[in-house]
Amino acid sequence: MKTLKIFLLLTAIFICPNFALAKNADELFNELRQKILQVKDYVAEVNLKIDVAYMKVPLLKGKLYFKAPDLMKLERNGGISILPKKNINLTLSNLIPTGKVTVIDMGTTLYKAKSLRLIKVVPDDEKSSIVLTKIWIDEQNLLVIHAETTTYEEGSLIMDLEYNHFVNYSLPDKVKIFMDLKDYKLPQGLTMDYNDGNKKQENIKKTLKQKGTIEINYKNYVINKGISTNFFKG
């Protein structure tokens, strides 16, 4: 009987090579996190579209600067700079728990007709702002295709990501972020675009209770060239 079990196991390995090559959930998450965190800083040209009910926010174009772990600055065409609030997470690295975590393997699932590996990640650190992150992973290319993160103070945030030119750095060409705006504050530089003086503050507060999306298209990344922390001040 023991010989038969060994024979069946070896047969499964040779007939189904993915059985032998498949990573366990912890290995997969650690490799994914390592790949994402290799980006220490970047500059990219962006088109940023904000879709919020009852608001007309113009398309924003400019350069987006990022420095790990959470410094960001949007320099709009025309010279106007915007410092996004810390609680608007426009980068995937801010949604991936750091430190010790518990990883739960949810197996393979279909998402938008793609076969992806689904894992759940729970931080072991009680001080972490993240409660739970669910990640849909393209295993072959080690890319996050979809992520859903729940935090203690900022509610839930969902991201869809598309890649083309910078897959080696896990940097997307397009990101769509879905969020409940009652849990987030838009940067002051963005609110001035739709607060034209005719809209009452009560209507703005009412609007912020709605759900919204942010769509960002990136191009011409410049990666890991070094950006001073002082650049993000002021």
> What would the 3-class secondary structure string for 171-186 be?
CCCEEEEEEEHHHCCC
Average pLDDT, integer, range 167-189: 76
Share of the chain residues as helix, strand and coil, in percent rounded to the nearest 5: 25, 40, 35
DSSP 24: P
pLDDT value at residue 123: 93
SS3 148: strand
| Angle value at C-alpha 213, between 212 and 217, nearest 5 degrees | 160
> What is d(CA 15, CA 63) in angstroms, rounded to the nearest whole number?
50
Instruction: Judge whether residue 3 has pLDDT over 70.
Output: no
- Break the chain into its structural domains and give their ranges: 24-220
What per-residue confidence (pLDDT) applies to 143? 97
Residue for token pair 């998402």: 111
Q: Give pLDDT, residue 234.
A: 62
Whether the Cβ atoms of residue 60 and residue 73 lie closer than 8 Å to each other: no
Q: What is the chain's length? A: 234
Instruction: Tell how far CA 144 is from the center of its chain.
Output: 8
**Mean pLDDT on 43-56:** 83
Which CATH architecture fits 24-220? Clam (2.50)
Cβ proximity of 232 and 75 under 8 Å: no
Taking only the tens place, the pLDDT of each residue in 190-228 is: 444 444 444 444 554 454 456 788 899 999 999 999 999
Cα atoms in the Cβ-side hemisphere of radius 13 Å centred on 232: 21
Rounded to the nearest 5 degrees, what angle is found at the Cα of 126, between the Cα atoms of 120 and 128? 65
pLDDT at residue number 29? 96
Check pLDDT > 60 for residue 42: yes
Separation between Cα atoms, residue 46 and residue 31, nearest integer Å: 28
pLDDT tens across 8-36, in order? 344 444 444 444 346 899 999 999 999 99
The whole-angstrom separation of Cα 215 and Cα 46 is 10
Structure-model confidence comparison of residues 145 and 50, the more confident one: 145
Give the model's pLDDT for residue 81. 62
Q: What is the pLDDT of residue 83?
A: 53
131 touches 150 (CB < 8 A): yes
Distance, in Å, from the CA atom of 32 to the CA atom of 147, rounded to the nearest integer, reads 13
Q: In the structure encoding, which two tokens stand for residue 52, read together?
A: 């919020």
How does pLDDT run across 51-110, given as a tens digit for each residue? Answer: 876 667 778 899 999 999 888 888 888 766 655 554 456 788 878 888 899 999 999 999
Confidence at residue 7, expressed as pLDDT on a 0 to 100 scale: 42
128 — pLDDT class (breaks 50, 70, 90): confident
